[in-house]
Amino acid sequence: MESAACPCPVLHGPEPVESREQVAEYLAEAIAAAESRGGAVSGYATRGGHVAPAASPSSALRETITEELAHIKSLMDTEEQGQFNLLEEEEGEILAATRPKVVTVKVAIDSGAVRNAVNPEDLPEGVEPAGNPSGIDYSGANGSRIKRDGPCTTLLMSELGNVGCNWEGADVTRPLHSVSQVTGPADQAGKQEVLFTNKKCVVVPPGAVEEILKRYKPVMQYDREGNLYLAELQMTSFPRPGVSR
């Protein structure tokens, strides 16, 4: 005896249902219809997107349909649970990696800063300050305390090339490059030199400033003391032309 063909195109027919939501809808309707008739699912097929009773199937076919529908439901439940877990895992990874691998920062170069300083929140993924075991913090220009988080190193990339940069993690509002750290220790040969104009500031190889001073007399000079550049000056009121004192 030849076995009857299954009338359920959800499983075997020429027009398979592509959407899991559609399958769930058909499955729910089929099970509800079966329960309302007081028996197992028997010979339900999809026609034009609707569940309709099929020709009277054999007992074996009814059993096959019931088993396959139960199998579909089991697969759907497993798939949905797997997707839910995957979303949880993906969201967990996103929360864990809150910083990108490459960040864009706008750094100010500052002759008043004694160290290159960056807020830890501005650092890229994989870079963490090493900590501050000494417990000594920085002091702002107004005497305020600036929390210090310890050293770290990054690579800086620009149109001029790539350079390594040593930083101190600190509670600053923007990344700062220290002129004294860029130029190098005062008791050693200079590493680089820093030049300012009213348009830009550039870091150049050692010796550039000495060559300039051979041709030009400086208007003002700030000598280095520690990590700051200072000038000791006398100060008075500035007389304006035509105004008696």
pLDDT tens for the chain, 245 residues long, are 444 444 443 333 334 444 556 656 666 666 666 556 554 444 444 444 444 444 444 566 567 667 766 766 665 565 544 443 333 344 444 444 567 899 999 999 999 888 999 999 999 999 999 988 888 787 777 778 888 899 999 999 999 999 999 999 999 999 999 999 999 999 999 999 999 999 999 999 999 999 999 999 999 999 999 999 999 999 998 887 776 55
pLDDT of 229 reads 94
Judge if 161 and 216 occupy the same domain.
yes
Judge if 86 and 162 occupy the same domain.
no
pLDDT tens digits, residue range 101-156?
Answer: 999 999 999 998 889 999 999 999 999 999 888 887 877 777 788 888 999 999 99
Would you say residue 77 lies in a domain?
Answer: yes
Would you say residue 103 lies in a domain?
Answer: no
Judge if 92 and 116 occupy the same domain.
no
The structure tokens listed for 133 are 């075991």
- Domain ranges, residue 35: 20-96
Location of structure tokens 């300039």: 212
The structure tokens listed for 154 are 């990054």
Would you say residue 120 lies in a domain?
Answer: yes
Q: Compute the Cα dihedral for 47, 51, 57, 61 and give only its sign.
A: positive
Judge if 210 and 118 occupy the same domain.
yes
Would you say residue 5 lies in a domain?
Answer: no
Judge if 73 and 113 occupy the same domain.
no
Judge if 128 and 201 occupy the same domain.
yes
What total of structural domains would you count in the chain? 2
Judge if 116 and 145 occupy the same domain.
yes
Judge if 114 and 224 occupy the same domain.
yes
Q: Compute the Cα dihedral for 45, 47, 50, 55 and give only its sign.
A: negative
Give 140-151 as a DSSP string: -TTS-EE-EEEE
Judge if 175 and 226 occupy the same domain.
yes
Q: C-alpha angle 187/190/191, rounded to 5°?
A: 130
